[in-house]
Amino acid sequence: MESVRIFVGLDYHQSGVQVCVMGHDGQILANNEAENDWRDIVRLVGTRGAEVRAAIEACPGSANLAEELVRHAGWSVDLAHAGYVMRMKGNPDKTDYSDARLLADLERVGYVPRVWLAPEKVRELRVLVRHRQELVNERRNTRLRVSALLRQHRFRAPCRPWTLRWLSWLSGVQLPEQSRWVVDRHVANVVRLKKEIAVVEKRLQAATASNALVQRLMSMKAIGPVTAWSMAAEIAWFDRFRSGKQLARFCGLTPRNASSGTRQADSGLIKAGNPQLRATLIEAAHRLIRCDASWRAFAQQMRDRGKPTCLIIATVANRWMRRLYHEMRRYPLAA
């Protein structure tokens, strides 16, 4: 029995983990709940096999547990895409018992829809990058609320919003009492968020000062620190992709296929990957067209053929990522 490979499905919860142990022939050897601790999970699995292959759905906290099982128990652990697993189940009923069993069975037959288990260093960089983006989104939403209040009272700004001149104009606008109080609170919040974003960016600079990938990316055209941080956090290793097309698809920059029979068609960009990474790369494509003559000429050729601007920008971003993949493959650097 010691030489037998066994398969383990882990249905993760913060309070506990449902553990299904399955033999190579599909027989369930155990399906019980364990504490959310790698030691208790290993103790439940016991010594039923010398080689353990496990699957766990990707969710907050599951990557940490998977890494502990790999590092301390020597297991082979796959992170499974939660959305694909749910669709593969094809059953409206949901129990921890059945979910853990499904994961174990998918691992046994090699059908686990795997996602990358990023190292702890990369996951920590993602925490910083995403925290900065949350602050930026909050600042943008707060500014939009101020604009909405001004429109509500039919005031039109004489200059570009959120410049020093605009702020001076805003302070003199005769708003009703309650609206003035709300606007002042929003303006104070924008000032606070600006300072907080600067603090996070300073920490990101310190955290990536010795990151060879970030430094390499920042030496290229159209890539500033924010773009480099985002790519290092979300992509991390360019050589983990098999092709430039796969990388572009991971970034959500490739067209979604909507073909059927003899009808061949695309339907916008694929809804995959991190939406903020895609937005960051689209912004980089705008800059690339402005500062690089070859990409500017390519964009003009598409414009002369009557292509819309949104399609041109997406195409530039797609082709740029494919080219960047091959360039970075020559000099493999990891975040």
- CA dist 222 and 224 (Å) reads 6
The pTM of this model reads 0.86
Q: What are phi and psi of 253, to 5 degrees?
A: -110, 0
Q: Which domains does the chain have, with CATH numbers?
A: 5-115 (3.30.420.40), 120-207 (no CATH), 213-330 (no CATH)
C-alpha to C-alpha distances, 120 to 169, 236, 240, 326, nearest whole angstrom? 48, 12, 16, 26
Cβ neighbors of 216 (< 8 A, separation 6 or more) are 328, 331, 333
- CA dist 326 and 275 (Å) reads 23
- CA dist 106 and 104 (Å) reads 6
Q: What is the pLDDT along the chain (335 residues), one digit of tens a residue?
A: 446 789 999 999 988 999 999 998 999 999 999 999 999 999 999 876 678 999 999 998 999 999 999 999 999 999 999 888 888 877 777 889 999 999 999 999 999 999 999 999 999 999 999 999 999 999 999 999 999 999 999 999 899 999 999 999 999 999 999 999 999 999 999 999 999 999 999 999 999 999 999 999 999 988 999 999 999 999 999 989 999 999 999 999 988 776 666 666 666 788 778 899 999 999 999 999 999 999 999 999 999 999 999 999 999 999 999 999 998 887 666 66
